[in-house]
Structure formats: structure tokens, C-alpha cells
Amino acid sequence: MQILLENTHPYQLLQRERQNGGLSHAYLLLCSDEEILRESLRFFAGAFFPQENRILSLIEKESFCDCQFFPKEGKKLSVEDATTILEESSVKPLEGEKKVFVVDGFQTASPAVQNKLLKILEEPPFGVHFLLGATTEFSLLPTVLSRVKKLEMPAFSTAQLQGYLGRNYPSFDEKELAFFASAACGKLSSARALTGNSFYKETLDDALKLTFASLAELPSLCKKIGEKGRKESLLSLLEILFRDGAFLAAKKGLDGYLLSPFYKKEIEKIANIYPVGVLLSFQAKIREAQKQIKFNANFTQCLQMLFVWLVEKRKF
């Protein structure tokens, strides 16, 4: 995780600003991968302080006196939390010249909570800094956004994720790691989850059920699968599945493609019942669906529209 994060532009920017003595009083770390947000906040918080092993270790445990985390893990930021932050911000740092307040899941904070913190975000006491973490900025008040400096975490590349998986999951071979990294759609949490056989096999099984379902089966199947979530992973696996199918349908074979070692028969079936042009068009439709769900489109409806279109294009 450290190697991934320390090579991101927002982390390097934060490090440079600390080294040059130009830290802003409030930052907003935007990370669309909710499952790694708090973990990322702990790592970024370390950039505010001297790079000493003791301090960094305490921050990682959320137990460094001059770096306080809100709310408690798994909780939503409350008015009481905001009140505590206001009170604690007036207390001088114990060890150095800086005191940092790290706030996780700020996108879930109510307008009342956000308003309560407005003044201190704009004019904090000397030496006090804020690091807010959110998965999206859309639910944040414009007045909050105007008071923070945004640090946007990019999606990780397939190569970065494959390197991470290789370092942390050495039991998998190179083809498996390439598959997991590609199917993760830039999200570290998805890459981690895919290394658990039950997760990716169940998700891929859902993708195959949708692929071979009849029109009559689609409504109930889309509803059942849509309610599981796993939006990015399912759509990413579908794209890989149909990409391999398109290569086979175009008579290019399967050697070297991601799913071929695991699901050769299923890919051959896809290549037989769908024309290559349909398989290519379907990949474009999947990518469009990926964009739509980022803007809160109904996942079940997206699935149903995708596969109704696909079923109607079958050869037989």
C-alpha cells in the first residue's frame, strides 16, 4: 500500500509542501475507493509530520497525540464530533508545532455538521491543519469546498495493481495476477477482493448467468445480482469476458488473453452465439454503463438494459 500511495501525485504534492514550509490549513483527499479511504488518510496524515518511524507507526494506529481521527471507524461524523474538534483545536500540540485533524467519510456529514466546521476550516488556530477524506465532492457544501485544497487520488493502473498483488499475494501466478489487476478497474479494494477465490468466482458466475440468460429470466436475475452491489467488479469482468469472446469470434484465438485459462468453454460459447460486431459493441455499452453508475444510475436497470440489448442480438 505504501508503494502505491507514495507514488501518487497528491501525496508527492503534500510532501513537497511540507518540505517547503507551505502546508495549507485544510486539504480534501478525494478517493473514490471507499474501502481504502481511511487507510489512505492514515498514510497521508504522516506527511504532515517529521518522517520518524515512531510517529508514523503511532499515526498508523491512530494513536499519535497530535494527529486525531474522526469519527470512530465505521461511524458517521456527528455534531458532537464537530464540537470536539472545535474544542481540541484550541489545545496546543503536545510534541511539535503541528496538530492535524483527520476526518474520514466527510461526504456523509450533514449540512449542519459541515456548517459547524466552516469557520475553523477557514481560520484555524496557528499550527492546526485539517485533512478531510471523501469519496466524492458532490455532497459537500460549496462553502466547504472553497476552504480546502483538493487532493484527487487517481485510479491505479493495471501495472501498479499487478505489482501490488505480486508483492502481497505471492501464491498466485502471473496470469492470475494480471487477470485480477485488469478486472479491478483501477480500485485497490477490488484487486484485493478478487484474490479471494469466492469473490471473483461468484462475481464471474453472475456475469455468465447474465450472458446466457433468456429474456424471461433477465428481470429477476438482474434484480438479484444488482442488489449484491459489486458494480465495478461485475462490469469490469463482463468487459474482459466479452473482449476475449470477440478475439475468438474474430478467429484470433485465446492465447494470452486474460480469462482463457479459466473459462475457455464459456468464451467459446460466447463467440459462437454472438457476432464479433455485437461483442465489440457490447464492450462499448459496458463502458458507458460504468460511467453512468458513477453518477448514481440505477445498477439493476443498467444491467437489464445491457442484456436485453445483447439477447436480441444472438444468432440463435
pLDDT at 72 over 60: yes
User: For the chain, what is the HEC assignment?
Assistant: CHHHHHCCHHHHHHHHHHHCCCCCCEEEEECCCHHHHHHHHHHHHHHHCCCCHHHHHHHHCCCCCCEEEECCCCCCCCHHHHHHHHHHCCCCCCCCCCEEEEECCHHHCCHHHHHHCHHHHHCCCCCEEEEEEECCCCCCCHHHHCCCEEEECCCCCHHHHHHHHHHHCCCCCHHHHHHHHHHCCCCHHHHHHHCCHHHHHHHHHHHHHHHHCCCCCHHHHHHHHHCCCCHHHHHHHHHHHHHHHHHHHCCCCCCCCCCCCCCHHHHHHHHHHCCHHHHHHHHHHHHHHHHHHHCCCCHHHHHHHHHHHHHCCCCC
Are 147 and 209 within one domain? no
Q: How many domains does the chain have?
A: 2
Q: What is the mean pLDDT of residues 74-99?
A: 93
One domain for residues 240 and 306: yes
Of 12-26, 56-70, 78-92, the range with the lowest mean pLDDT is 12-26
Instruction: State the pLDDT confidence band at 187, using cuts at 50, 70 and 90.
Output: confident
Residue 252's pLDDT is what?
66
Predicted confidence band of residue 33 (pLDDT cuts 50, 70, 90): confident
Judge if 35 and 123 occupy the same domain. Answer: yes
Encode pLDDT of 194-209 as tens digits: 776 566 778 888 989 9
Report yes or no on 84 lying in a domain: yes
Q: Is the same domain home to 200 and 148? A: no
Is position 188 within any domain? no
- pLDDT > 80? residue 110: yes
Does residue 179 sit within a domain? no
Lowest mean pLDDT among 85-94, 260-269, 285-294: 260-269
- Kindly indicate the confidence band of residue 45, based on its pLDDT and cuts at 50, 70 and 90: very high
Residue 120, pLDDT > 60, answer yes
Structural domain range at position 146:
2-152
Lowest model confidence (mean pLDDT) among 17-21, 52-56, 159-163, 256-260 = 256-260
**Both 14 and 126 in a single domain?**
yes
Are 138 and 201 within one domain?
no
* Within a domain: 316: no
Residues 82, 30, single domain; the answer is: yes
In this prediction, residue 195 carries a pLDDT of: 79
Q: Is the pLDDT of residue 157 over 80?
A: yes
pLDDT band (50, 70, 90) for residue 291 = confident
Average pLDDT of the chain to the nearest whole number: 88
pLDDT tens digits for 222-278? 999 988 877 777 888 888 888 888 888 887 655 555 555 567 788 888 988 888 889
Q: Do 131 and 229 share a structural domain? A: no
Domain boundary among 100, 132, 152: 152
* CATH code: domain of residue 284: 1.20.272.10
